[in-house]
Amino acid sequence: MKRILRDTCILASLMILSVFAISVIWMGLTAEIVLVFQLFALSFVIALVNYLLDEYLSLSIIGNYLLKYIIATAIVMLFGFVVGWFYQSNFWMAFVYVGVVLVLAYMVDAIKTRKDIEYINSRIKK
């Protein structure tokens, strides 16, 4: 199931990028296409920062999640101000958006981890 979910996300990302790349060639950059490319760029930056945090820091699980939430929110706020997603009056929306996405992402991660633990335990018993 983990592989199917991963492959689905990768395939969907490639489809979105391909369709939008062709749209850029034919129609130019529209606001929707720019938004999708901005979201992909933001996702890359956050994934890179999360990777570096995992590689170089050893914190408790709660400390790790809290630090990633704070850093991801700061990146979203900075990126959002630069590209015009947020204004000073509604910057707090970044906390909401990042919170929702991270809760969903960590739920998927928790399910994946539980499945991995079950698999390892079954292999040990054999």
Task: Identify whether 31 is part of a domain.
Answer: no
Instruction: For residue 48, give the amino acid letter.
Output: L
Q: What are 97-106's pLDDT values in tens digits?
A: 889 988 888 8
| Interior/surface letters 91-116, b for 16+ CB within 10 angstroms, e for the rest | eeebeebbeeebeeeeeeeeeeeeee
- Structural domain count of the chain: 1
Range scoring the smallest mean pLDDT among 9-13, 45-49, 66-70, 110-114: 110-114
Q: What are 4-57's pLDDT values in tens digits?
A: 877 888 888 889 888 888 888 888 888 888 888 898 899 899 999 989 998 898
Task: Identify whether 20 is part of a domain.
Answer: no
Task: Identify whether 100 is part of a domain.
Answer: yes
- Against a cut of 0.75, is the pTM above it? no
What residue ranges in the chain does DSSP mark as E strands?
none
Task: Identify whether 114 is part of a domain.
Answer: yes
3-state secondary structure of 92: coil
Task: Identify whether 27 is part of a domain.
Answer: no
